[in-house]
């Protein structure tokens, strides 16, 4: 599917292309569901296209954009993710894993939608309790691939999704990114640039993506999921600018993270020790990536709740059941208490990433939430 919205970023990339001076390293930064990966893929296809075309936008800046033709030999190959000069790197599971081990899964995921997030990708790989990473072996494989000459295109392109998962292994790529072989371009697609080595960031031209508008998400849902206009707009409002979230809501109206989080808050409010122990034992079986996804949903819920309290507006980007719970909680929570809860959930994400015992961690968190809810 074509990249939704992002008129500002598209115009910027078109100007770069037309200038004939494309930087050797670009960092696409923005939330996964905003379309950074989709945009980077589109730009890679443009760079390799044999007959690029000019397209006039009817919306946004009304500027002319340079786009790939979609019909030449190169476009057909990049469309199937099989162009010999377009290489991919992404988080994998396993100490010695490399991206090519999961190329079949990668092509299948992108064939469904380029708007998936890290948790959806890692669960596709069967991560369960394992965390994703970009390994030393992967970095060595990248260096080897990019040392070869281009096979067919003007450029050799490495598209790396979520370079945050490099960690300190990113040091292995510093010299390559700083002094790449001729006609080599790095397209890095990041959600949290703060987790990338500063020495890598300093070598990249930044391309920022923006949250999608409700109209853009609604249009995308009508195209991809064939929803009627009213249902598409309802979901777009709840998604808050994130097309991945919108697809989840369209495909799974019950949204398990939401139901589980509300159930957890109710149990924390009651403070029944037996209930909380049973809940944490079941929650511990989900695996770290799912636990992190759950905590990120909790942060979304608390942000909407805080906005309701600060603006005194009873509406929020929440579904009816979630909104009802938020409105009830608005009567017992203030800004300070919500700030404490947000800080706690953020800390838990950090602890989960570092393999904390989930039973101990979430039982302790449950007790602390009970105290915050009941205090005063």
Q: Could you tell me the CATH number of the domain that includes residue 57? A: 3.40.50.300
Per residue of the chain (376 residues), what is the pLDDT tens digit? 778 999 999 999 999 999 888 999 999 999 889 999 999 999 999 999 999 988 765 544 446 688 899 899 999 999 999 999 999 999 999 888 999 999 999 999 999 999 998 888 998 898 777 788 999 999 999 999 998 888 887 899 999 999 999 988 889 998 899 889 988 999 999 998 888 989 899 999 999 999 999 999 999 999 989 888 877 887 888 788 999 988 987 886 655 677 888 899 899 999 999 999 999 999 998 877 788 878 888 888 888 888 888 877 777 777 777 888 888 887 778 888 999 999 999 999 889 888 899 999 999 999 999 998 888 5
pLDDT value for 53: 87
Tokens, residue 223: 């195209």
d(CA 120, CA 113): 11
Whether 247 is covered by a domain: the verdict is no
Please indicate, yes or no, if residue 276 is contained in any of the structural domains.
yes
Residues 206 and 259 in one domain: no
- pLDDT value at position 57? 59
Asked, for residue 117, whether it belongs to a domain, the answer is yes
In a domain, 345, yes or no: yes
Query: Is position 223 within any domain?
Result: no
Write down which residue in 210, 245, 263 finishes a domain: 210
Confirm whether 2 is domain-assigned: no
Domain-terminating residue out of 210, 238, 273: 210
Q: For residue 230, what pLDDT is reported?
A: 79
Among candidate residues 164, 165, 107, 111, the one with its CA nearest the CA of residue 134: 165
What is the structure's pLDDT at 48?
94
Asked whether residue 248 is domain-assigned, the answer is no
Q: What is the pTM of this model?
A: 0.76
Same domain, 282 and 200: no
> Does residue 258 sit in the same domain as residue 153?
no
User: Distances in Å between the alpha carbon of 27 and those of 15, 30, 41, 85, 209?
Assistant: 16, 10, 13, 19, 10
Considering the domain architecture, whether residues 323 and 197 belong to the same structural domain is answered as: no
274 in the same domain as 152: no
Residue 258 domain boundaries: 254-374
CATH number at residue 263: 1.20.272
**C-alpha to C-alpha distance for 271 and 373, rounded to whole angstroms:** 10
Whether residues 270 and 328 share a domain: the answer is yes
State whether 305 and 172 are in the same domain. no
Same domain, 277 and 349: yes
Q: Both 200 and 278 in a single domain?
A: no
| Residue 87: both structure tokens together | 């290489």
Q: How far apart are CA 149 and CA 145, in angstroms?
A: 9
Examine the domain organization and report whether 19 and 159 are in the same domain: yes
Per the structure, how many domains does the chain have?
2
Supply the pLDDT for residue 60: 46
Does some domain include residue 221? no
Q: Quick one: 74 and 190 in the same domain?
A: yes
**Same domain? 117 vs 205:** yes
What pLDDT is attached to residue 123? Answer: 85
Last residue of a domain, one of 187, 210, 233: 210
């Amino acid at each position: 599917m074509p990249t939704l919205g992002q008129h500002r970023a598209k115009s910027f990339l078109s100007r770069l292309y037309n200038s004939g001076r494309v930087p050797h390293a670009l960092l696409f930064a923005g939330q996964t569901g905003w379309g950074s990966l989709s945009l980077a893929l589109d730009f890679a296809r443009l760079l390799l296209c044999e007959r690029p075309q000019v397209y006039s936008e009817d919306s946004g800046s009304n500027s002319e954009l340079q786009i790939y033709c979609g019909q030449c030999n190169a476009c057909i190959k990049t469309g199937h993710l099989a162009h010999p000069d377009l290489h991919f790197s992404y988080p994998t599971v396993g100490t010695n894993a490399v991206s090519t081990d999961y190329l079949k899964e990668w092509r299948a995921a992108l064939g469904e939608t380029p708007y998936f997030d890290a948790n959806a990708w890692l669960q596709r790989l069967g991560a369960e309790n394992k965390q994703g990473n970009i390994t030393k072996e992967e970095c060595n494989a990248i260096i080897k691939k990019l040392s070869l000459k281009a096979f067919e295109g003007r450029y050799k392109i490495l598209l790396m999704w979520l370079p945050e998962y490099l960690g300190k292994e990113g040091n292995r790529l510093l010299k390559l990114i700083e002094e790449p072989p001729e006609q080599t371009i790095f397209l890095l697609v990041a959600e949290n640039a703060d987790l990338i080595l500063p020495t890598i960031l300093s070598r990249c031209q930044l391309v920022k993506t923006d949250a999608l508008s409700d109209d853009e998400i609604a249009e995308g849902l009508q195209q991809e999921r064939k929803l009627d206009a009213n249902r598409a707009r309802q979901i777009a409002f709840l998604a808050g600018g994130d097309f991945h979230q919108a697809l989840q809501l369209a495909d799974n109206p019950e949204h398990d993270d939401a139901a589980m989080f509300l159930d957890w808050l109710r149990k924390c409010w009651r403070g029944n020790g037996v209930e909380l122990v049973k809940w944490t034992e079941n929650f511990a079986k989900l695996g770290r990536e799912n636990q992190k996804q759950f905590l990120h949903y909790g942060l979304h819920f608390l942000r909407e709740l805080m906005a309701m309290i600060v603006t005194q507006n009873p509406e929020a980007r929440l579904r009816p059941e979630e909104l009802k719970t938020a409105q009830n909680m608005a009567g017992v929570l203030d800004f300070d208490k919500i700030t404490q809860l947000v800080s706690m959930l953020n800390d838990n994400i950090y602890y989960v990433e570092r393999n904390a015992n989930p039973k101990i961690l979430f039982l302790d968190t449950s007790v602390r939430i009970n105290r915050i809810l009941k205090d005063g």
